[in-house]
Amino acid sequence: MGKLGPLGGELSSSVVSFEEATALAEEHGTPLLVCDIDRVRDNYKKLKELFHGFDLCYAVKANPHPEIVKALVELDSHFDVASKNEIELCLELGAKPEHLLYANPVKPWEYIEFAYRNNVRTFTFDTEQELEKMARHAPGSEVILRLSVRDIGSVCKFSMKFGAKEEKALNLLQKAKDLGLQPVGLSFHVGSQCTRMENFGYALNMCSRVFKLAEKNSISLSVLDIGGGIPVNYVNDVYSWEDLASLINQKIPELFPKGVRLIAEPGRPMVADAMTLITRVIGVGRHNGGNECIYLDDGCYNSLSEKIFGHCEYKLLSNKREPMRSYTVFGPTCDSMDVITKDALLPELKENDLILIPNAGAYTNAAATHFNGFDPAKILFLHQIQKTNPESPEMRPISAGAF
């Protein structure tokens, strides 16, 4: 169900108030993505504190905006990169090559060669063919075997596309060693927006079995990468970061040798709540006796592409006070798939009214297209707004009850 309606405590998740959003929309037009970079920093620091001893490799794919990557470089973050362009971006912004993990299990040989030339030395794999490519184009590199794990309850599942079966792990690790590579560890990914915390426990148990089997066969593993999957509260409540960290911090010493290097690849939880989408009603109507409809100037081909793939539901916030009604909400394109929600409970809306969509920092601008000729949302950063327009009211994260 698309949520919500009038303000209430829901607005506390937005990085701007409606007053601020109105001023920004008048100056810059809509749609707009507004980012509070301090939330990114705070999320990194909180995750770093909770996941004891982990190197946090920010999954650049979640939001590759240079301002976000730069802020994390300044915090000495590590990075999960998936392509030549992501490697270039991180290095150009000052990331250390040794802080880059090329975690895409299947890579073009040209990209492997590029990474190696730029001193990236740690790669993920899940097939013999990938090992052969890396042996040719990144000789002697450290390689991490990605295992296929349970991803029930994750909104984006990866097990069909990536990950080796447990029974094939030893042969792949031995193959890496035979090819002159350094098989240093294991990785897994429980799926993006994983709603079943027990999947992490299942995956850790599997990795522990493979660690022990490898040790018995003279392959000493020293790296454990738990991937991503940490969920975000969009509409439905999910388990807390604290609960997940408690589970993982308890199981690691029970299952793995002391001194193992620990890696996590958070993307969504690092950036989701740092952005709010400001979008505008461009049309109102009713079709074939169904729900009333509203059309927004951003949609599934722009900032809200995750709706098409069923990865998340977004809260839609309005500052109107009229009686509530049910709307079908469409994006601006002429594709009938451009449906944001079929049952948003919102006040009566008219053309040019603003809608705020919080938690819009992950896989929004990163996946936006120019389909139908609609440009992606313009991106603004609060600290830049303050710097370029010092006479404007201070832009700051708002709190519940501010309105």
pLDDT at 192: 67
The DSSP 8-state label assigned to residue 147 in this structure reads B
Q: Which residues contact 72 (CB under 8 A, 6 or more apart)?
A: 40, 44, 58, 79, 270
Q: Give the rounded percent of residues in the chain with a pLDDT score beyond 90.
A: 72
* Structure confidence by residue, pLDDT tens digits, 320-379: 987 898 999 999 999 988 999 988 899 999 999 999 999 999 999 999 999 999 999 999
* Structure confidence by residue, pLDDT tens digits, 32-54: 999 999 999 999 999 999 998 99
Alpha helices in 217-289, H assignment, sequence order? 241-255, 268-271
For residue 381, what are its two tokens? 């950063």
Spatial contact of 11 and 369, defined as CB atoms under 8 Å apart: no
Residue 3 predicted with pLDDT over 50: no
- Identify the CA nearest to 47 among candidates 229, 264, 215, 225: 264
Cβ neighbour number for residue 105 with a 10 Å cutoff? 22
* Structure confidence by residue, pLDDT tens digits, 137-148: 999 999 999 998
Of 194, 207, 293, 334, which residue is the catalytic one?
334
How far does the chain reach from its first CA to its final CA, in angstroms?
A: 25
Q: CA 28 to CA 330: how far, in whole Å?
A: 22
300 belongs to the catalytic site: no
37-271: CATH architecture: Alpha-Beta Barrel (3.20)
Segment (H or E) for 383: helix 382-388
Query: Which residue spans of the chain are classified as CATH 2.40.37.10?
Result: 8-35+272-388
Mean pLDDT confidence for 20-36: 97
Spatial contact of 314 and 2, defined as CB atoms under 8 Å apart: yes
* Structure confidence by residue, pLDDT tens digits, 114-166: 999 999 999 999 999 999 999 999 999 999 999 988 666 545 545 665 668 99
pLDDT at 9: 41
Q: 8-35+272-388, what's its fold?
A: Lyase, Ornithine Decarboxylase; Chain A, domain 1 (2.40.37)
Burial of 218 (0-12, 13-18, 19+ CB in 10 A): exposed
Question: Could you write out the DSSP letters of every residue in 325-346?
Answer: EEEEEE-SSS-TT-EEEEEEEE
Q: CA 37 to CA 135: how far, in whole Å?
A: 40
Give the pLDDT band (50/70/90) at residue 65: very high
Spatial contact of 338 and 331, defined as CB atoms under 8 Å apart: yes
